[in-house]
Amino acid sequence: MAKHVSEWMIYIFCTCRATGEKDVAFKVLYCGICHSDLHMVKNEWGFSVYPLVPGHEIVGEVTEVGNKVQKFKVGDRVGVGCVVGSCRSCDSCKDDLENYCPQSILTYGAKYHDGTITYGGYSDTMVADEQFIGRIPENLPLDAAAPLLCAGITVYSPLRYYGLDKPGLHIGVVGLGGLGHVAVKFAKAMGVKVTVISTTPTKKKEALENFGVDSFLVSRDHHQLQGVTGSLDGIIDTVSAEHPLLPLLGLLKSNEKLVLVGAPEKPLELPIFPLLQGRKVVGGSMAGGMKETQEMVDFAAAHNVKPDIEVIATEYVNTAMERLLSRSETCLAIVERKEKKSLLRSCL
């Protein structure tokens, strides 16, 4: 738990809400340390509520179900992502897009309908409405499944929605971090040609050899970018730091789209003329609804899409946060809550 914006995580006892008639309680076995957690712990987006228990990439095993639960039973492998509630009556909810509901309830640092604060997965136990719980397939390791519940759906959803999932298309992925490397894996599994765009030339070998991308561009190498102007059918931009959009727009074919899924602390500058001259579109995407999240998890299991992970001790959660803050490491993190043993980190 973070008790104040100036503090990192400390261990503290707090009580989950009681398991309601439509709720599922489960033992938390793994929980991702997402870059969003860092933003929230430090209140960089301005709406954090303390004390704060982060974590919205949560997987575990069901220990209790309410008497009206129909989808799950004790012992099931389950997961919770970014949202644990919504109004269920708006257009977004009717379209299975609970993540865009104006009254959506975030997994942590938000308020339930009764006014109590939501606590995330940096904990031993999680309780959530069965409507907002996903099933983890048996052939998908739980540790690999955890980061899919935020990082995975964050990149899977725009690939599907913006039509960038068609075999033979050529897309760009900006950044080879937690979001970026998962975007590459999903796109390749869909049969899409992928170019990674990064500020870091040293990532070229990793991109080509480890992730099987088709090409690699250094975003600061203007000569290199000029040679591939107008070559991409779309771009998924996963970077959460301030960066220029103009070079990326130049890589797009006419009528194509640049989709932002990172969440920089400061607003990005958007040049207008490249949009007008090529009828190009800048769009965004945030997580996904429960139906699509389950589809994504099932797709990952069927196509062996698994984030790369590294195991570290649970007590190093603050060290993990500091490594994200310093950008000394290209990793997301996953807390393993098995007897408070260890923490897993998935490569960014």
Identify whether residues 111 and 176 lie together within a single domain: no
pLDDT in tens, 209-224: 999 999 999 999 999 9
pTM of the predicted model as reported, rounded to 2 decimal places = 0.91
Identify whether residues 90 and 198 lie together within a single domain: no
Q: Is residue 13 part of a domain?
A: no
Enclosing domain of residue 68: 23-150+288-347
Identify whether residues 145 and 168 lie together within a single domain: no
337 pLDDT tier (thresholds 50, 70, 90): low
113 pLDDT tier (thresholds 50, 70, 90): confident
Strands 309-313 and 342-347: what pairing? Answer: antiparallel
Q: Is residue 224 part of a domain?
A: yes
Q: Is residue 17 part of a domain?
A: no
- Burial of 329 (C-beta count, 10 Å sphere; 0-12/13-18/19+): middle
Residue 348 pLDDT: 30
Peptide bond into 267 cis (omega under 30): no
Identify whether residues 280 and 293 lie together within a single domain: no
Identify whether residues 270 and 164 lie together within a single domain: yes
Identify whether residues 138 and 83 lie together within a single domain: yes
Domain containing 275 — which CATH number? 3.40.50.720
Residue 88 pLDDT: 96
Residue 8 pLDDT: 62
Identify whether residues 177 and 225 lie together within a single domain: yes
Q: Which residue has the tokens 């790369």?
A: 308
Are 195 and 253 in contact by the 8 Å Cβ rule? The answer is: no
Identify whether residues 292 and 278 lie together within a single domain: no
Q: Is residue 295 part of a domain?
A: yes
The total number of structural domains that make up the chain = 2
Which helix or strand (DSSP H or E) is residue 217 part of? strand 215-218
Q: Is residue 60 part of a domain?
A: yes
Q: Is residue 301 part of a domain?
A: yes
Mean pLDDT of the chain: 90
Identify whether residues 200 and 304 lie together within a single domain: no
| CA proximity to 52, closest of 103, 10, 23 | 10
String of DSSP letters for 98-152: GGG-TT-EESSSSB-TTSPBP--SSSSEEEEEGGG-EEPPTTS-HHHHGGGGTHH
Q: Is residue 279 part of a domain?
A: yes
| CA proximity to 35, closest of 152, 179, 153, 144 | 179
Q: If you average pLDDT over residues 301-319, what whole number do you get?
A: 84
Domain containing 70 — which CATH number? 3.90.180.10
Of 284, 309, 334, the domain-final residue = 284
Identify whether residues 140 and 164 lie together within a single domain: no
Identify whether residues 146 and 208 lie together within a single domain: no
Residue 246 pLDDT: 97
pLDDT in tens, 116-167: 899 999 889 999 999 999 999 999 999 999 999 999 999 999 999 999 999 9
How far, in Å, are 53, 110, 123, 195 from residue 50 at the CA level? 8, 10, 16, 41
Alpha carbons 300 and 252: distance in angstroms, whole number: 28
Of 254, 284, 314, the domain-final residue = 284
Residue 158 pLDDT: 99
Residue 333 pLDDT: 56
Of 266, 284, 302, the domain-final residue = 284
Alpha carbons 276 and 258: distance in angstroms, whole number: 14
- Is pLDDT at 174 greater than 50 in this prediction? yes
Q: Is residue 12 part of a domain?
A: no
- Is pLDDT at 199 greater than 80 in this prediction? yes
Q: If you average pLDDT over residues 39-64, what whole number do you get?
A: 90
Q: Which residue has the tokens 């008497």?
A: 67
Identify whether residues 85 and 185 lie together within a single domain: no
Are 178 and 34 in contact by the 8 Å Cβ rule? The answer is: yes
